[in-house]
Amino acid sequence: MGKYDYVIVGGGTAGCILANRLTEGGKYNVLLLEAGGPPRSPWIKIPAGFSKLLTNETYNWRFESCPEAGTKERVIAIPRGKGLGGSTLINGMIYVRGQPGDYDRWLDEGATGWGWQNVEPYFRKLENFAEGGPSRGNSGPMYLERVKERFSISDAFLEAAAEDGQPFNEDYNEAEQEGVGYYQVTQRNGQRWSVVDGYLKPALGRDNLTVLTGSRVLRIELEGTRCTGVTYERDGKRETVAAVGEVVLCGGTVQNPQLLELSGIGNPDVLAKAGIEPRIELAGVGENYIDHYATRMNWRVRNTITLNEISRGLRLTKEVLKYFTSRKGILTLGTGLVHGFVKTHSTLSSPDVQFFFVHASYANAATRVLDREPGMTIGVTQLRPTSKGSIHVESADPEAAPSIKPNMLATKQDCQTLVDGMKAARRIIEQPAMRHFVEHEMTPGKEVQSDEEWLEFARENGQTIYHPIGTCRMGGGEEAVVTPSLQVIGVENLSIADASVIPVMVSGNTQGAVMMVAEKAADLILDRAK
């Protein structure tokens, strides 16, 4: 049986960061276990390649939700990155810190030491944003760039937003988030920059880091209430490895609660129903599941060429040549071009809705097939949803996917905010600056006018935008799973450090917050070892 100071379960966003930070002093031996493989696809480095990878079983676990009444009994895709780099291999690369108030809300949840003043230095530590001001990091491992491509229709959208009273905000990651502008993305010189690039590759040459891919962890080993290691399967063989210091779970919001429950840690009723012997009672495991739910509003446009047409035939050939000779063009684009952080009511103290504008429209969003005629899309999401769901095992079989019940649009606040956000998006598009480009609204269509009709459209057509958090919530109260120091309550030598510990949603895309959590987690773990 192998023995290490630290065993990290999961080589995704947080796992790669911890592998770097826990080994950089040379003092501790670290094992990183990842069920997927190394990032070998040529599509990974090409930003537009996300559309090829998002449905690829090699790089995506391809989880799905259970049908629920609130979303018209639809099965909704829950993508999660698979392989070294995790979701940073397949996501839209959008980088958002969130609002300072988000982290002060973490304090309200009992997450002592995680307020804005505590976490802001970690954002600066990870960032390498040459275009940023003094409050931004410019020497960290994660390269960031502002979307560089400019189009007449996206500039017109910014003008229309100004006509609607929305401020222009060049850097939504500084003091104020509110406004519109061009997104910041995890890229370097027009190529995707994942945590493998920023954190793992610099650490791979260290003698004190061992990385095993194709290694699926089956259970956490316990002696009473003490975690002693994990058992994993690799190449058809089962191995048990010991952790002298800690086992750190970085499997993410879906798979952390699954592994805890498979190991007998969780709600005894849930475990018994799945045929698992309860070992340690921890009622909050798998609860507090929160995600961003979004609708896509589409317009048919004119007097411009959109990605729908550019991504075909001779135009696409030219774009491919442009990208490989200059790292420019449409292949540098991810899921968002122009951002909008908007208040749906002037009385609000901060934005409550986020827009993702892009001059493209899907004929089939599930398969990422674009329309053939020119179109544009605004994705609309509520920044801080209050609806909560759950993720639990239904079987003792580690190969069986857990039951994911998002419970989207379960509160009146979530429903009304999303409806008001869609109304605001339509209002901006109806401003004079967009008249030259807009032919007609395709979805939901101008016939949708009442709040009831807007909500029905959202329930029938919305999707998550892949920001699941919270199933191993940190803080206080009965549903807390980890302490503010990220140690699993009631279990010695077991910690969790990724999106699953986030107690309440941050205002925007979550990859920045997850990187911050991992950076701070490394300091907490190393401080305990002193």
Q: Catalytic residues, which ones? A: 467
Q: Is the dihedral of CA 270, 272, 275, 281 positive or negative?
A: positive
Tokens encoding 83: 């392989």
The DSSP H or E segment spanning 185 is strand 184-185
In whole angstroms, what is the distance from residue 92 CA to residue 84 CA? 17
Distance CA 469, CA 27 (A): 32
Cα gap 100→523, rounded to integer Å? 21
Contacts of 69 (CB under 8 A, 6+ apart): none
Tokens for 46? Answer: 């090409």
Among all chains, which residue has been given the structure tokens 């304090």?
107
- Could you write out the DSSP letters of every residue in 72-113? TT---EE--B-STTGGGGTS--B-----HHHHHHHHHTT-TT
308 contacts: CB under 8 Å, gap ≥ 6: 360, 361, 370, 371, 372, 373, 374, 375
Q: What's 69's DSSP letter?
A: G
Burial of 237 (0-12, 13-18, 19+ CB in 10 A): exposed
User: Residue ranges of the alpha helices (H) in 5-151?
Assistant: 13-23, 50-53, 100-108, 116-126
Strands 338-342 and 353-358: antiparallel
CB atoms within 10 A of CB 366: 11
Give the integer Cα–Cα distance in Å for 282 and 284: 6
For the chain, state the CA radius of gyration: 22
∠ CA 509-510-511, rounded to 5°: 105
DSSP bridge pairs for 495: 248, 487
318 phi and psi angles, rounded to 5 deg: -65, -40
236's CB contacts (< 8 A; 6+ apart) are none
> Which SS3 state, helix, strand or coil, does residue 175 take?
coil
Paired sense of beta strands 63-64 and 77-78, if any? antiparallel
Q: For residues 360 and 363, what is the distance between their CA atoms, to the nearest angstrom?
A: 10
Are the beta carbons of 156 and 302 closer than 8 angstroms? no
Half-sphere exposure of 433 (CA within 13 A, CB side): 17
Q: What distance in Å separates the CA atoms of residue 131 and residue 147, rounded to the nearest whole number?
A: 11
